[in-house]
Structure 1
Amino acid sequence: MPPEIQWYPGHIAKAERQLKEQLKRVDVVLEVLDARIPLASHHPQVAEWIGSKPRILILNRADMIPESVRQAWQAWFKRRGEVPYFTDAQQGQGIRAVSKAAQAAGVEMNRRRRDRGMRPRPVRAVVIGFPNVGKSALINRLLGRKAVASARRAGVTRQLQWVRISESIELLDAPGVIPSKLDNQTDAVKLAICEDIGEAAYDNQHVAAALVDLLVELAYEEILRSRYGLDPLSMTGEEYIHALANSRYQGDAERAALQLLNDFRKGLMGAIPLELPPTN
C-alpha cells in the first residue's frame, strides 16, 4: 500500500482560524483553483465558510490545459450556474476580467449600503485556495506590482495581509488552506503531482508512478513514449519509474521520479489536464 498523503502544518491551522475570523469582514471571495485539477483543488469547506457571499471562481494556470478542455470546463461550470474565470497569473492573462467582476460585486455591495443610509467604501475581497495555486501571483497582477511574495512551491504565504488594489478594492492575501484530513486520496495524489501541497506530505516515487498511470488513463501515453523512449503501456507506473532510472539515471529512482514530476510541473510535457469535466 502506498503511504497516505496527509499534510496539515501548524501555520495552515492557524491561518484557517484567522481566515474564518476575517471572512466576517469580507464582501466577495475569489476562490483560485488549479485549471489542471479544478475539482481536486477545490476546498470542500469553502461553501460552508462563505455562506451567501458572492464568489468569483478563478481557474489559474489555464495555459497548462488545452483550449478544448478549457471550453469543456466552461460549459460544465455554466450548467451548474457558475462563471469560471480562466487566468494565467504568471503572464497576466485574464486578470482584467477578474478585476471587473470584483468591482461589480463592490458596486452591488455599496448600493445595499446606500439603501441602508451608509456611506460607500472599497469592496473587501479575499483570495483563497490551496497552497501554490497562484494566489499571490494573481494579487500582484491585480495590483500591477509585486506586493506579496510568490513562488512555485507550496507554503510561501505564511500570514494574512490586506493589500489595497485601488480606490475601490482591498484584497486579503491568505495562506493556502487545505482540509485537515485529505479523505480522497485520488485527489490528494493529483494535488501532489501539481505541487499544490507541501512536499513533506508525499513520497516522490509514489507520486511520479501515479502520474504515469494517470497519463496512460487519460490517453497521453505517447508523450511519455516520445519524451523518455519507454512505452508505459507495457508496465505499471512504478515499473516505469524504475525503467527510466535504469535507462538514464544509473538506477536512481528518486532522481527519475523528480525529473518526471518537474517536467510535468514546468509544462515541458505540454498542456496536460489531469481532470476532465464529469459527464453527469
Structure 2
Amino acid sequence: MKSKFSFSKGKKHASSIIIRHTPKLDTERAKYPALADKIVQMSDIILEVLDARFIQETRNLEIEEQIKKLGKKIIYVFNKSDLIDIKKMKAKEVISLAPRVFVSCVSKKGGKELRNKIKITSYHIEHPVDTKMKKVTVGIIGYPNTGKSSLINLLVGKPAAGIGADAGFTHGIQKVNLTSEIVLLDSPGVISKKDYSDSNLSAISKHTKVGARSYSQIKNPAIVVSDLVKEFPKVFDDFYKIDSEGDSEILIEKLGRKRGILKKGNEVDEDRTSRLVLKDWQEGRIRK
C-alpha cells in the first residue's frame, strides 16, 4: 500500500537503525491521528503502550477498534510499572487486556518477556504487510509520554530513539531492527480525536495527569493540581511533607513558601508552584 506520507530515503547506521523522516509534526498535531492510523495499517503486530498507573485513561479505544477491524495482533504493554504495586491492581482493570506485559524502562524489567512475546506472536504471521522485505513489522503506539521511545531502547538493548521528558518529543517515525526478521516502527504520541480538546478542562486535566500534555504547556495548572489532590490527597502531603488537609490551595500556598517560589509583594507564585507539582508528578517522583 502506497503511503500518503512522504518519507526521505533511510540512512543506515552502524547500529542498524533506519530513520525515515516525516514533516515536523509538532507543528501539525492534527495529523497525528492520521499517522497513527497509517502505522496500524503498516504493521502486523501493534504494541499499545499504556501507563500502568492509568491504564484505562491511556487506552486509545479508536485505535484499538481499528486494530480489531483489520485483524491485527495486539500486545498491551503496561509501562512505568515501577511506579505501582502490581499486587494491588484491580483484576478487572487488566483481565480483558491480553496478551499483556508489565514493563519498567527505568528498572529494565519486562524487556526480555516482551521480546519473547513479540517473537512468539510473529511466528503466527503468515503474510507480513512488508511483502518486499518479508519482515514482520511491529508498530508502537500510545499517548504522549507513555514511554514509547524508552521502550524501543529497552527492547533493542541500546539507545535507538531520541528520549525526552516532555510530551510529544518524538516528532517523526523511526524504524528499528529488533531482529533480522522483525522491525519496530515508532510513532509520535497520539491522543484520540474524540478525546482531544483545547478547551475541555476535564480532558486537559486527564491528559496532564497521565503526562500526555506537558506541565510546561498547559493553561491554568492550578486547576489540574486541584483535580489531582482531590483524587490522591495523601500522596502530595507525604511527598512534600506538608499538611494541606486535602486542599490544593493550601498545598500550593505552603509549598510555594517552603520552596521560596514567590513574586512581588511576598505572594506565592501559584502558576510556578503548580507547575512544579505537575513536573514532579509527570516525572514519576510522586507515586500514588
TM range (shorter): 0.7 to 0.9
Q: Which amino acid aligns with 2:30?
A: A
Deviation for aligned residue 1:119: 10
Deviation for aligned residue 1:149: 0.5
Deviation for aligned residue 1:229: 4.3
Instruction: Tell me the percent identity.
Output: 25
Deviation for aligned residue 1:172: 0.7
Of 237, 247, 267, which aligns to 1:236?
247
Q: Match for residue 257 of structure 1? A: 274
Deviation for aligned residue 1:91: 3.0
1:140 aligns with 2:153: yes
- For the 8 Å contact 1:30–1:128, the answer to whether it is kept is yes
Distance of 2:269 and 2:43 partners within structure 1:
50
Show structure 1 runs of 5+ residues with no match: 1-7, 273-280
Over residues 68-122 of structure 1, what are the superposed CA-to-partner deviations in whole Å (9 max), with x where a residue is unaligned? Answer: 334x35x6422x2623211112332101111111111210013xx49xxx99932
SS at match of 2:106: coil
Over residues 150-196 of structure 1, what are the superposed CA-to-partner deviations in whole Å (9 max), with x where a residue is unaligned? Answer: 11111111112221111121111000011234378546423303422
Of 159, 163, 188, which aligns to 1:175?
188
Distance of 1:131 and 1:103 partners within structure 2:
26
Q: Match for residue 206 of structure 1? A: 223
SS at match of 2:249: helix
Of 75, 80, 103, which aligns to 2:119?
103
1:91 aligns with 2:104: no
Show structure 2 runs of 5+ residues with no match: 1-24, 263-267
- For the 8 Å contact 2:45–2:139, the answer to whether it is kept is yes
Structure 2 CA distance for partners of 1:177 and 1:244, relative to 1, 3 Å: same
Structure 2 CA distance for partners of 1:21 and 1:196, relative to 1, 3 Å: closer
Deviation for aligned residue 1:258: 2.5
- For the 8 Å contact 1:40–1:188, the answer to whether it is kept is no
Aligned residue pairs: how many?
250
SS at match of 1:212: helix
Over residues 177-227 of structure 1, what are the superposed CA-to-partner deviations in whole Å (9 max), with x where a residue is unaligned? Answer: 1123437854642330342224434432222222222112xxxx2x43344
1:59 aligns with 2:78: yes
Of 15, 28, 32, which aligns to 1:15?
32
Over residues 220-262 of structure 1, what are the superposed CA-to-partner deviations in whole Å (9 max), with x where a residue is unaligned? Answer: x2x43344343333x6323432343245434122232133223
Q: Match for residue 155 of structure 1? A: 168
Larger relative helix fraction: 1
Structure 2 CA distance for partners of 1:230 and 1:53, relative to 1, 3 Å: same
Distance of 1:190 and 1:22 partners within structure 2:
25
Q: Which amino acid aligns with 2:211?
A: E
Q: CA RMSD in A?
A: 2.8
- For the 8 Å contact 2:222–2:271, the answer to whether it is kept is yes
Distance of 1:43 and 1:188 partners within structure 2:
16
TM-score (norm 2): 0.76
SS at match of 2:72: coil
- For the 8 Å contact 2:191–2:212, the answer to whether it is kept is no
Distance of 1:124 and 1:135 partners within structure 2:
16
Q: Which amino acid aligns with 1:182?
A: Y
SS at match of 2:167: coil
